[in-house]
Structures are given as C-alpha cells and as structure tokens.
Amino acid sequence: MRLLFLAVLRPHTGNAVTAQRVRDHLEAEGHVCLLKDASDFAGPADVAHLIRAEAVQAALALHLCRAGRLLQGHGIPFGVVFGGTDLNEDVRQGDKHLVMGKVLEEARFAVAFTESMRAAACLQWPQAKGKIYVQGQGIATAPNAAFPWSAFLQRADLPQSADNLHVFLLICGLRPVKDPLYLVDAFSEWHREEPSAYLVIVGPEVSRPL
C-alpha cells in the first residue's frame, strides 16, 4: 500500500524521531511510506495534488491539528496519532479544539501513546471513544560494552570510577516548551545527599519558537 505520512519534522524534536520510527515500521511491513513535513503544505489543496501525483491509497498524521487537518476531504482513509501538543496545548484553544474534533470525525482510527492520553482525548471527544486506541512507544537498545566510560567521565569532570556512579541519562532537545532543566534543581539537591548520582543531558539546544 502507498501511504502518505504527515508530521511536523523539525530537527531534534520527538515528533521527527517518532515519525521516522513509525515510517520504518510501516516500510518493514512492505508498505511504501511517503513521510512529508506538514509545514511544507499551505493547505489541503497542496496535499490533494500530492495524493494524485503519488497515487496515495491511505494516509496517517502525527498531530491532529498540525497535520491531520490537511488530510480531510480527500476521499482516502486515514488515521491520526495524538501528539502531546494536541492534548496539552492545542485543546485549550477553541478553534484548534474544533479542528481536532472534525479531524476525529473523519479519521478511521486514532492512536494515543498512553492510557492517560486516551482518557484525556475521550474526555474532550467522547463520541470518538470507540476509535481511539492505545499503542505504547518502545525501543530496543543494545548497550555498547566497548564504550570508553573512563574517558567520558574525565571529559565530564567526573573523576570517579564508573563502578561507583549512578548516571541517569536524559536524551532530549533543550527548548522552552519542554524545558527539561526543571530537573536540575531537584537533581542537584539529591546529588548533595547522594554524591554518586549524576544527571547527564544529551541533546542540542533548540531555541526556535513553535
């Protein structure tokens, strides 16, 4: 099947990483998945042209408001995936709340990553309860036994043995809307009580506005 997948693909964001992972799974199942940045389309008319040109048979959108609205009215089946912005930010704005409700009416199904996200969506749009499903996110990791811990600790100014440390790794981009630095004060207080505990944040600074 030829699928169009719309998402906001800003670099270094969870949306972009999630979209790429979903695309990889779809392609692994034998589908052709055209992953496109929703920000590149002025409106549904542009998407309609792409659907015709690429002979798209079905579609998927990550974020109802930002991407799902572009899939309405094209006559092909589509599903949507709730993003955190949908349920934590956009739902509070009347015009966007209305748009998301209309997208849900037309969508064949909707996916929430957690039970709490599904509950929040069902509270806002109870009429769509029967088409909202939970699909948790998960990744497989393979620790690198050859990782040079000693050199890493030295570069991080942690002159201790790795055997005596408890390192918590947070991989994320630094941006105001999802500022992980609120953890720093709490972690610093814990570190004073437990000197072997360290928080390491790995990721770029993303300062552009949403």
Question: What pLDDT does 12 receive?
Answer: 72
Q: Band the pLDDT of 9: cuts 50, 70, 90.
A: very high
Q: Quick check: 36 pLDDT over 90?
A: yes
Q: Band the pLDDT of 179: cuts 50, 70, 90.
A: low
CA pair distance 202, 174, nearest whole angstrom: 9
In Å, what is the CA distance from 145 to each residue of 57, 73, 134, 139, 201?
Answer: 44, 52, 34, 19, 21
Q: How many CB atoms lie within 10 A of CB 143?
A: 6
Q: For the domain made up of 2-134, give the CATH fold.
A: Rossmann fold (3.40.50)
pLDDT tens-place string over residues 120-155: 999 999 999 999 999 988 767 777 888 888 888 888
Q: Where in the chain is the domain with CATH 3.40.50.11930?
A: 2-134
pTM for the full predicted model: 0.76
Average pLDDT value for residue range 108-125: 96
Q: Band the pLDDT of 68: cuts 50, 70, 90.
A: very high
Q: Band the pLDDT of 27: cuts 50, 70, 90.
A: very high
